[in-house]
A and B are shown apart, each in its own frame.
Chain A
Amino acid sequence: GAGVSQSPRYKVAKRGQDVALRCDPISGHVSLFWYQQALGQGPEFLTYFQNEAQLDKSGLPSDRFFAERPEGSVSTLKIQRTQQEDSAVYLCASSSRLAEYNEQFFGPGTRLTVL
């Protein structure tokens, strides 16, 4: 049915607050990706899940960033003690197979602004 959805679409946080960003992938998609897109730049890889397993978290910029996908479907990206440099659009994408050629379907993103 529906594509990848993300919530909230917009989030304003005061510096130091914790935030949680949600991603609902396309039903049945095995792979899920998180990206960070700073203003005027291309998305940068943060982390990758295959089902509930987090196979790659090398892109997470600090230990303040944490992602989970406990049941292999919905995923949450949590940022603790937000800083101004965390302001960006956070994109979620899902893919139906692990195969390298497979298309990623992107959600609309969550725009995070840290004041």
Chain B
Amino acid sequence: AQSVTQLDSHVSVSEGTPVLLRCNYSSSYSPSLFWYVQHPNKGLQLLLKYTSAATLVKGINGFEAEFKKSETSFHLTKPSAHMSDAAEYFCVVRYDKVIFGPGTSLSVIP
């Protein structure tokens, strides 16, 4: 069955430290991959997407993600967390359907 796993339901980092949000997918072939962010009371916003052109994808607000086929992973990273990064993050895979992961809540401590 096609699925997407976000290994951490909640991640807490200090401001200025690196962020790592993990995502793994299950598939016998490479799907389309996306990361979305959802701030409280706001709509979902696309951070970045993997389109098979390059394994390292750069997104908005300093985020990037690396597609690793051998590990079926698409982890989201940022070198230095900012207070405004506190939000819910969703890893999304698209096969014939769009499947959202359960989400990771990111807290940033001043």
- A72 within 8 A of partner (CB): no
A interface residues, tally (CB under 8 Å):
23
Binary interface encoding of chain A residues 82-100 relative to chain B, with 1 for a CB under 8 A from any of its CBs, else 0: 0000000001010000001
Q: What are the residues of chain A within 8 A of B45 when measuring CB–CB?
A: 106
| Contact call A45/B103, Cβ cutoff below 8 A | no
From A16-24, A36-44, A61-69, A73-81, the one touching the partner chain is A36-44
Complex interface residues of chain A between 24 and 63 (CB less than 8 A to chain B): 33, 35, 41-45, 56, 58-59
Complex interface residues of chain B between 59 and 110 (CB less than 8 A to chain A): 90, 94, 97-103
Q: What are the residues of chain B within 8 A of A108 when measuring CB–CB?
A: 41-43
What are 28 A-B contacts with C-beta separation under 8 Å? A33-B98, A41-B102, A41-B103, A42-B101, A43-B100, A45-B97, A45-B98, A45-B99, A56-B97, A59-B97, A91-B43, A93-B44, A100-B32, A100-B94, A101-B32, A101-B49, A103-B49, A104-B46, A104-B98, A106-B36, A106-B43, A106-B44, A106-B45, A107-B43, A108-B41, A108-B42, A108-B43, A109-B43
Q: What are the residues of chain B within 8 A of A43 when measuring CB–CB?
A: 44, 90, 100
Q: Whole-angstrom distance between the alpha carbons of A56 and B103 in the complex?
A: 24
Most interface-central of B32, B44, B99 (chain A CB within 10 A) = B44
Q: Whole-angstrom distance between the alpha carbons of A105 and B34 in the complex?
A: 12
Q: Whole-angstrom distance between the alpha carbons of A105 and B98 in the complex?
A: 13
Q: Whole-angstrom distance between the alpha carbons of A92 and B34 in the complex?
A: 17
| Contact call A103/B46, Cβ cutoff below 8 A | yes
Top 10 closest pairs, chain A to chain B, by CB: A42-B100, A106-B44, A101-B51, A106-B43, A108-B43, A43-B100, A42-B103, A100-B32, A103-B46, A42-B102
